[in-house]
Amino acid sequence: MSGPPLLSVDGLRMHFFTKAGVVKAVDDVSFAVGRGRILGLVGESGSGKSMTGYSVMGLIDPPGRLVGGRIVFDGQDLTRLDAAAWRRLRGNRIAMIFQDPMMTLNPVLRIDTQIVETIRAHADVSHESALARAREALARVGIASPDERLRAYPHHFSGGMRQRVAIAIALLHHPDLIIADEPTTALDVTIQGQILFEMQKLCRETGAALIWITHDLSVIAGLADEVCVMYAGRVVESGTVAEVIERPLHPYTRGLIDSVPSRNERGRPLRQIPGMTPSLLELAPGCPFRERCSHASAACAESPAVTEPAPGRCLRCFHPVHA
């Protein structure tokens, strides 16, 4: 990889200031992704992976607030942008696809309305030429008879079709960066495979960088170049996909990999990580995983610093696993 990465997030902190206390949803997260690369953000529910995505999009609502760190996108620090500048970036140079395709399209607006408004929000074109581009966009994601489909409402579409529409909308302005927040989780396995394949292809074709947020390590294994494993608002381990999956260093990553059914022997009970993710509300200092970790020691009451056990790898653990 040459030159600076397209997006580099450095020490990002996003906290919710609720009546019950401060929730550190994203707590010192750093990663980078280059043009044409695919980064996987992996973690359980509540690990802060979606909130990291929303932070990059500038879609954090009160009581949430960015409290620290930098988000450098193509040379400019997004955290310094005003609302109008951030709006011009969204849907244009940075696009996002959401988890549940049943919920992301507005149920009372026609598909053409929802596509055309996105085109005209960023390009000064007539309604007719926007409509022509909308037609092409639907055709590009493999939707048959786009003319007819444009006049339909979302409830006429299946889940997979809706997600294709959402992807078509995200790709309208050839974004440099696409953030996909578990876009295949709500779909059938066969559709999931198709969407994965096509997203990969579209990114390769357009040279867009992709951040794929998921709880499913097996999806990442076949898709991403690099991976960040998140736990309780922090990145606990990162590196190339091959390295992290072949030689996980953090006990949590190890636990995640062991939980994938195909890696276990037949007939044996699945291995699982004991316990549950801790509440992020007033999280005690120290390693947040220590309660569930078989390697934990007294040292873990301190927060482990980020170390670089090998070139291009990061780790936040005192007791790395040696496989």
Partner 1 sequence: MLAYAIRRFGQSFIVLVFMSFLVFVGVYAIGNPVELLVNPQADEAERIRATAALGLDKPFLEQYWGFLVGAAKGDLGKSFVFNVPALTLILEKLPATIELAFVAMVLAISLGIPLGLVAGLKPDSFVGRGIMAGSIMGFSLPTFWVGLVLIMIFSVHLGWLPSNGRGETVLVAGIPVSFLTMDGIAHLAMPATNLALFKLSLLIRLTRAGTREAMLQDYVKFARAKGLPQRRVIGVHVLKNILIPIVTVIGLELGSVIAFAIVTESIFAWPGTGKLLIDSINQLDRPVIVAYLLVIVSLFVVINFVVDVLYSLLDPRVRLGGAAAAH
Residue 231 near residue 59 (C-beta atoms within 8 A) = no
Q: Judged by CB under 8 A, which of 20, 108, 144, 305 binds partner 1?
A: 108
Instruction: Say what angle helices 159-171 and 189-206 make with each other, to 10 degrees.
Output: 10
- Residue 123 CB, shortest distance to partner 1, in Å, is 11
Q: Does 117 bind partner 1 (CB under 8 A)?
A: yes
Which of 35-43, 82-90, 189-197, 271-279 is the region at the interface with partner 1 (rule: CB under 8 A)?
A: 82-90
- Residue 190 CB, shortest distance to partner 1, in Å, is 24
Which of 86-94, 127-135, 232-240, 309-317 is the region at the interface with partner 1 (rule: CB under 8 A)?
A: 86-94
Nearer to partner 1, 7 or 249 (CB): 7
Give the sheet arrangement for strand 234-240, strand by strand: 94-97, 177-181, 209-214, 38-42, 226-231, 234-240, 314-315
Give, as ranges, the residues between 247 and 306 that touch partner 1 (CB under 8 A): none
Give the sheet arrangement for strand 7-18, strand by strand: 21-33, 7-18, 64-73, 76-77
Give, as ranges, the residues between 55 and 74 that touch partner 1 (CB under 8 A): 57, 59
Q: Judged by CB under 8 A, which of 16, 73, 98, 318 binds partner 1?
A: 98
Q: Are strands 38-42 and 209-214 parallel, antiparallel or unpaired?
A: parallel
Q: Does 90 bind partner 1 (CB under 8 A)?
A: yes
Nearer to partner 1, 88 or 201 (CB): 88
Give the integer Cα–Cα distance in Å for 191 and 39. 21
Helices (H), the chain: 49-57, 83-89, 101-104, 111-122, 127-140, 146-150, 159-171, 189-206, 217-223, 241-246, 251-259
Which of 107-115, 241-249, 297-305, 306-314 is the region at the interface with partner 1 (rule: CB under 8 A)?
A: 107-115
For residue 263, the SS3 value is helix
Nearest to 230 by CA among 196, 184, 192, 280: 280
Q: Judged by CB under 8 A, which of 87, 215, 247, 271 binds partner 1?
A: 87
Q: Does 210 bind partner 1 (CB under 8 A)?
A: no
Q: Judged by CB under 8 A, which of 55, 118, 184, 238 binds partner 1?
A: 118
Q: Judged by CB under 8 A, which of 11, 17, 88, 276 binds partner 1?
A: 88
- Residue 178 CB, shortest distance to partner 1, in Å, is 11
**CA dihedral (117, 122, 128, 134) positive or negative:** negative
- Residue 206 CB, shortest distance to partner 1, in Å, is 18
Q: Judged by CB under 8 A, which of 104, 163, 192, 238 binds partner 1?
A: 104
| The two three-digit tokens of residue 212, written as one number | 């794929």
| The two three-digit tokens of residue 174, written as one number | 């050839």
Q: Does 122 bind partner 1 (CB under 8 A)?
A: yes
Q: Judged by CB under 8 A, which of 6, 7, 41, 105 binds partner 1?
A: 105
Nearer to partner 1, 62 or 75 (CB): 62
DSSP letter for each residue of 152-209 = S-GGGS-HHHHHHHHHHHHHTT--SEEEEESTTTTS-HHHHHHHHHHHHHHHHHHT-E
Q: Does 121 bind partner 1 (CB under 8 A)?
A: yes
- Residues that bind partner 1 in the complex, under the rule CB under 8 A: 57, 59, 87-92, 95-96, 98-100, 103-110, 117-118, 121-122, 153, 155, 166, 169
